[in-house]
């Protein structure tokens, strides 16, 4: 029987509750966002006692179909002051689903100075002292927790940035290989830090998910998994090149963030490409790997272990957004520097997208130099030390730009822009401005669409983005990774069928898409009450006025077109 | 002469990473989609076409001297 695990860190109370009827067929982002709307005061301080951190697997979490183990983490965002859902791969989604925990809620704020670990197992859940982990980076935190609880546990944890409640902080989630994945965006790590919870440790549950029609589900799951393997997009390219496969293409359309969003193409982009990443992994050998899975049963396997010249692991997984924001955006012409900065940002428990934006702004302010690893690393060192400068930087692109007096501050709704310049990929400009999530590519990336809409055109971008936002949000309700979408979008009935075999309730395809629509509506409603929309449905000003070489485009999608993407 | 570069797995369909095409000199118009199809590249696998550094539609008419980069459909990054 599904339950909700409610943890009040002020009272030290841990309660299992039944699931409200309204929530029965909500999952993932659909559930976290509805719960935030229902339970969190929109005007609250996101780092205060009235915010809640809500963690939920998708409706198909823990099942046998590929790529459904995503874990959604929602709250009022300390970064944007609007609603936030950040999701991640790793083990936690699968374990929570198998344990029948539909949602885990952290609420209240602890007595001054308390730091906890939340243990979850088949006997229940409890808060224990996390003092031993105070100040530790995410990697050391994970290894200490493995030593204490065994390597088969799922860990959700924060680094020093989350403990310091810095608004750029992420939440790390352990995967089956003992690596860390990140629910990175929107400062969810600061919200977890404000609850005084350093880590959540979930022991492997004995149970597994139940099926209304197990044979029906398994047969369809096998079919979908095979389609994913047979498709060159998911069966081949991701296994070799990971998400870095898109570097050359984004560069070719002139949308690759370069030198703090001054240019849309980078002369050394090829050196940062998935092809070079793959070549280095093969050539260097040792611990290097591509085709690494981040969730149990995922057949796409887009992860990697990126090695140094001696074959020793630098970081896992080196991926596109980090390469764009920490690579070309900071003027680095080699993946090794990007990988080392990536590892440091991960260990601090920060978002690589936000920090790439921060370092670009800091370089413009004269605090470091483009392409200079040492000066960038020194700024990350300020964050670790908790100096005043470090606290400014760790609080994200917006605050850094304001404090340092920089005019080119790449944000939308208070959040750093990800790896597609909205001037040359206008569908993503619409997304960043209109999505309840702010500048978040995962909410409906127009780069993923076929060659249908000219990325430079002012037309059709509103409908394109609206459609993508709805469909991607629906996937996030089910727990699917968005990369698994080819067989799902080709025949959306399979999603309804999977739900039927799992729950015994018939859904129409329209009802599946409605999960996306209803979620977006709930998020928009929260944001309006929190004062985040519609005046903030905009990009930073320079995107409208400063032409971006080599396309020399500005962001010029008309207001009427933009409005088409707003779902309310 | 038109130069083509096929990225990632599209080169498996085209059986080459790069190709050169001499356009028929008889005034016949050739669009990029028809040429890709003739090479055995399924058009549903074609994501982005960039000609001389600019995004172009699948019905773009090829011109002598063009440099064409063909990228597969991507699912995002």
* Cβ-Cβ contacts under 8 Å, B60 against chain A: none
Q: Which residues of A touch B48 (CB under 8 A)?
A: 249, 252-253, 451
**Which are the contacts of A559, defined by CB distance < 8 A and separation ≥ 6?**
none
pLDDT tier at B76, thresholds 50, 70, 90 = confident
Give the minimum alpha-carbon distance from B53 to chain A in angstroms, rounded to a whole number: 6
Rounded to the nearest 5°, which phi and psi values hold at A310?
-95, 10
Give yes or no for residue A449 having a pLDDT over 90.
no
The model's confidence at residue A406, banded by pLDDT at 50, 70 and 90, is very high
Residue A391 has pLDDT above 80, yes or no: yes
pLDDT in tens, A325-383: 999 999 999 999 999 999 999 999 999 999 999 999 999 999 999 999 999 999 999 99
Better-scored residue on pLDDT, A535 or A129: A129
Half-sphere exposure of residue A159: CA atoms within 13 angstroms, side-chain side: 33
Q: Which of A233, A321, A551 sits opposite B72 (nearest CB)?
A: A233
CB pair distance less than 8 Å for B49 and A551: no
Indicate the SS3 state at residue A495: helix
Q: Look at A456 and B12 and tell me if their CB atoms are within 8 Å.
A: no
Whether complex ipTM tops 0.85: yes
Q: Do B74 and A483 touch (CB under 8 A)?
A: no
Q: Check residue A209 and give its pLDDT.
A: 96
b/e string for A28-46 if b means 16 or more Cβ within 10 A?
bbbbbbbbbbeebebeeeb
Of B47, B71, B77, the CB nearest to A243: B77
Over the stretch A263-296, which tens digit does the pLDDT of each residue have?
999 999 999 999 999 999 999 999 999 999 999 9
Q: Do A442 and B76 touch (CB under 8 A)?
A: yes
A447·B45 Cβ contact <8 A:
no
Render pLDDT for A37-87 as a digit per residue (tens, 0 to 9): 999 999 999 999 999 999 999 999 999 999 999 999 999 999 999 999 999
What is the pLDDT confidence band of residue A477, given thresholds at 50, 70 and 90?
A: very high
pLDDT confidence of residue B24? 82
* Residue-level pLDDT at A413: 94
- Distance CA(A377)–CA(A357), nearest Å, equals 14
pLDDT digits (tens, 9 = 90+) for B16-70: 999 999 998 777 899 999 999 999 999 999 999 999 999 999 999 999 999 999 9
A426: helix, strand or coil? helix
pTM value is 0.98
Q: What percent of chain A has pLDDT over 70?
A: 99
Residue numbers in B near A441 (CB within 8 A): 76-77
Interface of B with A in 39-68 (CB under 8 A): 44-50, 53-55, 57-58
The chain B residue lying nearest A249, using CA atoms, is B71
A interface residues, B as partner, C-beta within 8 Å: 232-234, 236-238, 241, 243-246, 248-250, 252-254, 319-321, 324, 419, 441-442, 445, 447-448, 450-451, 454-456, 482-483, 485-486, 550-551
Mean pLDDT of the residues in chain A: 97
Q: Which residues contact A413 (CB under 8 A, 6 or more apart)?
A: A80, A82, A432, A433, A437, A438, A439, A532, A536, A537
Confidence class of residue A533 from pLDDT cuts 50, 70 and 90?
A: confident
Least CB–CB distance from B75: residue in A233, A254, A451: A233
Kindly state the tokens that stand for A156: 């959700």
Condensed to tens digits (0 to 9), the pLDDT of residues A141-150 reads 999 999 999 9
């Amino acid at each position: 029987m599904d339950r909700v695990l409610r943890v009040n860190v002020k009272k030290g109370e841990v309660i299992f509750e039944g699931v409200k009827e309204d929530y029965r067929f909500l999952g993932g982002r659909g559930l976290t966002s509805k719960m935030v709307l229902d339970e969190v005061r929109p005007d609250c301080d996101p780092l205060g006692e009235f915010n809640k951190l809500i963690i939920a697997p998708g409706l198909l979490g823990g099942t046998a179909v590929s790529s459904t183990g995503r874990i959604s983490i929602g709250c009022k965002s300390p970064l944007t002051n609007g609603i936030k859902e950040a999701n991640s791969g790793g083990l936690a989604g699968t374990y929570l689903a198998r344990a029948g925990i539909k949602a885990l809620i952290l609420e209240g704020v602890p007595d001054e100075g308390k730091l906890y670990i939340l243990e979850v197992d088949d006997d229940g859940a409890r808060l224990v002292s996390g003092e031993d982990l105070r100040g530790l980076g995410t990697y050391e935190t994970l290894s200490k927790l493995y030593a204490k609880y065994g390597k088969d546990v799922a860990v959700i944890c924060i680094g020093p940035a989350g403990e310091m409640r810095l608004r750029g902080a992420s939440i790390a989630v352990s995967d089956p290989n003992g690596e860390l994945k990140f629910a990175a965006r929107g400062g969810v790590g600061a919200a977890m830090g404000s609850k005084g919870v350093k880590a959540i440790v979930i022991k492997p549950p004995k149970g597994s998910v139940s099926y209304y029609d197990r044979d029906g589900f398994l047969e369809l799951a096998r079919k979908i998994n095979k389609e994913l393997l047979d498709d060159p997009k998911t069966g081949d390219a991701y296994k070799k090149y990971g998400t870095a496969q898109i570097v050359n293409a984004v560069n070719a359309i002139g949308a690759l963030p370069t030198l703090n969003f001054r240019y849309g193409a980078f002369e050394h982009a090829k050196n940062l490409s998935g092809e070079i990443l793959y070549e280095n992994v093969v050539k260097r050998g040792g611990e290097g790997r591509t085709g690494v899975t981040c969730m149990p049963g995922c057949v796409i396997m887009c992860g990697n272990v990126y090695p140094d010249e001696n074959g020793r692991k630098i970081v896992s997984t080196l991926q596109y957004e980090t390469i764009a924001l920490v690579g070309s955006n900071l003027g680095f012409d080699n993946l090794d520097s990007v990988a080392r900065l990536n590892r440091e940002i991960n260990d601090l428990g920060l978002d690589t997208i936000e920090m790439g934006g921060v370092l670009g702004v800091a370089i413009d302010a004269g605090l470091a130099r483009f392409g200079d690893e040492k000066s960038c690393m020194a700024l990350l060192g300020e964050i670790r030390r908790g100096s005043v400068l470090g606290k400014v930087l760790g609080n994200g692109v917006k605050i850094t730009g304001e404090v340092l007096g920089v005019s080119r501050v790449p944000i939308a709704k208070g959040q750093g822009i990800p790896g597609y310049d909205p001037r040359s990929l206008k569908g993503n400009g619409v997304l960043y401005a209109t999505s309840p999530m702010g500048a978040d590519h995962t909410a409906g990336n127009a780069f993923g669409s076929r060659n249908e809409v000219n990325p430079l055109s002012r037309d059709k971008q509103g409908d394109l983005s609206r459609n993508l936002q709805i469909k991607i949000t629906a996937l996030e309700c089910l727990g699917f990774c968005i990369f698994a979408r080819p067989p799902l979008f080709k025949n959306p009935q399979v999603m309804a069928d999977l739900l039927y075999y799992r729950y015994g309730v018939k859904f129409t395809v329209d009802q599946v898409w409605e999960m996306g629509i209803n979620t977006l509506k709930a998020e928009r409603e929260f944001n309006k009450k929190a004062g985040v929309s519609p005046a903030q449905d905009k990009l930073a000003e320079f995107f409208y006025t400063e032409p971006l070489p080599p396309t020399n485009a500005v962001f010029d999608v008309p207001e009427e077109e933009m409005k088409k993407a707003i779902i309310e | 002469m038109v130069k083509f570069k096929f990225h990632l797995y599209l080169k498996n369909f085209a059986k080459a990473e790069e190709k050169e095409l001499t356009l028929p000199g008889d005034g016949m118009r050739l669009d990029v989609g028809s040429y890709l199809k003739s090479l055995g590249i399924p058009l549903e696998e074609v994501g982005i076409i960039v000609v001389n550094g600019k995004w172009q539609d699948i019905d773009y008419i090829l011109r002598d001297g063009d440099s064409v980069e063909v990228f597969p459909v991507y699912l995002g990054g």
